[in-house]
Structure 1
Amino acid sequence: MIKFWIGVAVLDHIESAVAGGFVQLGHGKEAPVRRLSDGDGIILYATRQSLEGGDSVSSFAAVGRVVGDEVKQVRQSDCFEPFRRDVQYDDNVSPVAVRPLLELLSFTRGKGNHWGMAFRRGSFAIPQDDFDLIRDAMKDAYRGKH
């Protein structure tokens, strides 16, 4: 059964993941990417520009589908070997700010100033309706720019 997910990262990392065709969750932990399956939809939400700080982004920044069942561990440096899954990202989307969608999404609706608590989990499953709403908003934003 196909599931739908939100993954949370900084924008710099999301851009690297999209360019490389992978997803890495929870600072490279194995368990979050093991929960993903071939065909699952994933939307990446950017909190800030980079780990060093920078501007707040608070936007859905990428959308794609998990490809294959292999969990890969890669050597990024001498002391960091994160786990990843292959993802085919949609090229025809643009980032969308979360705030206009807060009262439309089941995981943020009615949460008031506490809407961001869901994102603190790092990754979490969402209903297909929420996935479709975010993806469609990102496609609309892309069409508005092109």
Structure 2
Amino acid sequence: MAIRYWLGVVQRDHVLRGVAGGFAQVNHGARAPLERMHGADGFVFYSPKTAYPDGEPLKEFTAIGRIADDETYQATQGPMMTGPNGDFRPWRRRVEWDHDAVATPIRPMLPSLDFTRDNRDWGYQLRRGLIEISRHDFELIRRQMRPSPEDTRRNRSSARITMAR
């Protein structure tokens, strides 16, 4: 089966929970969109805001990885598993996240991405919560989310300075 590439649209606070838990969840826990994915597919999260519903605007790619296997599973335990009726059981996919990736803004990439180039209304398609993207777009986003060795050294140095204060 050919590898496909996916872009999920989720607020950053939810992305961070998914990265910490090793999973992806889209469209309020819907199963159908996740069933289209297969093991080894590429997956990237785009976060328009920091939090739902009243978070600050963000417009960044916030996580990137690969679908770990072919199983879609339903979460049954853990924080946030109870809806108003105590019955929230979202569907998820296991993801091998790139933990070295850094969030990166979409704006500088707009002219280069297939799904945004020459499309003033590029954000409209993201309302679906999950779209398939080209390999070109996935690789471009992945490269932008990988810090250069110089950036990594600089961030570690500033982290030491911050921690020393």
Structure 1 stretches of 5 or more lacking a match? none
Deviation sequence 1:31-67 (CA, Å, 0-9, x none): 0111110010000001111113120110000000001
One-letter amino acid matched to 1:33 = L
Structure 2 stretches of 5 or more lacking a match? 154-165
One-letter amino acid matched to 1:22 = F
> Equivalents in 2 of 1:62, 1:34: separation in Å?
20
> Equivalents in 1 of 2:15, 2:142: separation in Å?
16
- Is the aligned partner of 1:40 residue 2:48? no
Partner residue of 1:97 out of 97, 105, 123: 105
Task: State the partner residue of 1:123.
Answer: 130
Calculate the TM-score normalised by the size of structure 2.
Answer: 0.84
> Equivalents in 2 of 1:32, 1:143: separation in Å?
38
Task: State the partner residue of 2:22.
Answer: 21
> Equivalents in 1 of 2:38, 2:54: separation in Å?
32
Query: Equivalent residues in 2 for 1:1-146 (5 A)?
Result: 1-75=2-76, 76-77=81-82, 78-112=86-120, 114-140=121-147, 144-146=151-153
Higher radius of gyration, 1 or 2: 2
One-letter amino acid matched to 1:30 = R
SS in structure 2 opposite 1:27?
helix
Calculate the TM-score normalised by the size of structure 1.
Answer: 0.94
Moved over 4 A (4+): none
How big is the alpha-carbon RMSD for the aligned residues of Structure 1 and Structure 2?
1.4
Question: Does the CA-based 8 Å contact 1:8-1:25 persist in structure 2?
Answer: yes
TM-superposed CA distance for 1:29, in Å, is: 0.2
TM-superposed CA distance for 1:97, in Å, is: 0.4
More strand, by proportion: 1
